[in-house]
Structure 1
């Protein structure tokens, strides 16, 4: 008998979203900084200062946000689970009636609903798990908040450094490249990285490879264009 192919992620796949979206945010925000400075016609040292400050500051901010968000979700789940466990222990008849009604509302025949109820309520832990899913629509979060923060920060910094590579190389090796050359090199590298990470989103969203990549390329281009325009306007105002 032939079985359907199933593809399940390993441990690392649980943090794939943090890697992809952290990387995308890193590229977009850093290249926006680069574009704004170039639009204002400031020198390359300003690009490095603001770019690196953005890289570490925003990266840390995103990592902190990911950590606190994940931690809050876990705490909320545990609080609700404790409440459901208390209700199961102290008001079992009411909880049985509630779970049965939920199964009936889902379209199960009364006989099947009663059988499912009997199976779920045999074990208190399984019973509480069923109430969490059926009544509250909550699934237990298995990801570690610290790992979410670290993967977000790492992806943001690594991908966000791409728009700065040409400027870093010019500074470290004293290449003396014209600003137009470094900017267009940064533009090309950022475009390739944006498309690649946008396409990599399909591993999370399961959408079309090309469409996902082009969407992120357009979004990143718009963000850079806005930043360039702001820098150009500020330059015109004498800033």
Structure 2
């Protein structure tokens, strides 16, 4: 039920969003227009095909419906551009081989990193599309009817962005952040150890022990955290069920308050809240579906995956300065990739986030390496 609401609420609310949604995405900077009918047509057609391919491969029924809806929306946008171009006697191109290659890349990326990261990557320029269509709605090159269509497309893109932002996958985000933790912590540790010991095998074994220790610690923490969250949630649901038996009116008031906070007018919230009392616990305290064991498993697997990367050069016998450089190189590449993925998850520029994490991770490793050198010098190791 909750998943269905998350998927379709933005579509149901589209008309209510029309008055104010554009202001959320537009700023005072003028958007530079490029009236390239063929380019705009191909971009929309490409997005439509990507969502269709993702939907075809999707197993979850509700998610599949959601993806087909997005595909239809983008297809409608391409048809608008086709109609406008044909009025001007312009011939539009078809998707080329490299477009199809990119489509297959997104399908492959989805298999590796999940739907959330795929849609974030695909829609990383969505805000620019909102601005583009808003500015096109004022273009003198278009007729009044065409400008009205551009306004509708701008609203569509804003609603589209709202739908995309509702796609969340805790497993994917936990896995990415877990890899990041393992990478940075074990890189720093092995860097410090390599400064103290010039034996690759000892550095590798020590790094793996630190990685294993961190994996157990993180897994136990994730298990206890999820278990505690579920217990608190179940306790809250039991209290609501008891309150429903004792005082349904009070539960109705609580529901009305929640609906009002969601933006529903108070008089409407008061009218519909009594009808929702029977499912009050699902609204006030939705079930925590996540399994503590699964959470612990995802955390453990992600952490140890990241922890192994800095150790690889030492495991194959590379020591000394070459070992340090090799470890930094493979870890640096991995940190940048993970940072970019975190950027996508948090709607931050992926390249900027990747470079930021790379700088911080390498800085931590260098600092620890210097400590290792000092330990080696003063302890005569």
TM-score normalized with structure 2 length: 0.53
- 1:112-191 equivalences under 5 Å are 112-121=268-277, 124=278, 126-132=279-285, 139-170=286-317, 177-191=318-332
Q: 1:220 to 1:101 in 2, by over 3 A?
A: closer
2:328·2:362 contact (CA, 8 Å) conserved in 1?
Answer: no
Does residue 18 of the first structure (1) align with residue 171 of the second (2)? no
Structure number with the bigger relative contact order (C-alpha 8 A, sep ≥ 6) is: 1
Deviation at 1:224, TM superposition (A): 0.7
Deviation readout 1:178-200 (Å, 9 max, x if unpaired): 51112111110000000011111
Question: RMSD in angstroms over aligned alpha carbons?
Answer: 2.4
Q: 1:152 to 1:104 in 2, by over 3 A?
A: closer
Does residue 212 of the first structure (1) align with residue 353 of the second (2)? yes
Number of aligned residue pairs: give it: 222
- 1:220-239 equivalences under 5 Å are 220-238=361-379
Structure 1 outlier segments of 4+, above 6 Å? none
Task: Give the aligned partner of residue 90 of structure 1.
Answer: 246
C-alpha distance in 2, partners of 1:44/1:109? 67
C-alpha distance in 1, partners of 2:239/2:298? 32
Deviation readout 1:123-168 (Å, 9 max, x if unpaired): x2x1222333xxxxxx432222211111211121122111111111
Q: 1:96 to 1:196 in 2, by over 3 A?
A: same
2:192·2:372 contact (CA, 8 Å) conserved in 1?
Answer: yes
Q: 2:225 aligns with which of 60, 66, 69?
A: 69
Task: Give the aligned partner of residue 199 of structure 1.
Answer: 340
Comparing 109-118 with 71-80, which one deviates more in the overlay?
109-118
Task: Give the aligned partner of residue 208 of structure 2.
Answer: 52
Q: 1:34 to 1:114 in 2, by over 3 A?
A: same
1:198·1:214 contact (CA, 8 Å) conserved in 2?
Answer: yes
C-alpha distance in 2, partners of 1:185/1:69? 36
TM-score normalized with structure 1 length: 0.82
SS of the equivalent of 2:316 reads: helix
C-alpha distance in 2, partners of 1:144/1:58? 21
SS of the equivalent of 1:63 reads: helix
C-alpha distance in 2, partners of 1:99/1:150? 36
Q: 1:213 to 1:78 in 2, by over 3 A?
A: same
SS of the equivalent of 1:48 reads: helix
Deviation at 1:40, TM superposition (A): 2.3
Deviation readout 1:177-236 (Å, 9 max, x if unpaired): 451112111110000000011111134322211112112112211221221122122223
SS of the equivalent of 1:165 reads: helix
1:33·1:47 contact (CA, 8 Å) conserved in 2?
Answer: no
Runs of 5+ consecutive residues of structure 1 not aligned to the other structure? 133-138, 171-176
Q: 1:84 to 1:213 in 2, by over 3 A?
A: same
